Amino acid sequence: MTKVRIFVTYKQSVFDPQGETIKDAIHTLGHDDVKDVQVGKFFDVTVDGSKDAVEKTVKEIADQLLVNFNMETYTYQVMEED
């Protein structure tokens, strides 16, 4: 079994209103050093199969469901393998 974390965010070119709002809130804390905040979400999925099969599954579910490529993009990271 392999645990994979899939991160989904808006594309760089897409305005992220949540990120902007949170950045403004951070500035009211006095942290003007924070220049940008991007909000995203992650999915921890546990997948059965070989390394190649797991990556194939992750790409398929990201492409077909987890990500809307009109506005979003994704990365993933293998968390645990056993």
C-beta of 60 vs 80, nearer to other proteins: 60
Asked if residue 10 binds other proteins (CB under 8 A), the reply is yes
Query: Using CB under 8 A as the criterion, what x/- string covers residues 14-43 for binding other proteins?
Result: xx-xx--x----------------------
Q: Which stretch binds other proteins (CB under 8 A): 7-15, 44-52, 53-61, 74-82?
A: 7-15
* Ordered DSSP codes for 1-63: -EEEEEEEEE-TTS--HHHHHHHHHHHHTT-TT------EEEEEEEE-S-HHHHHHHHHHHII
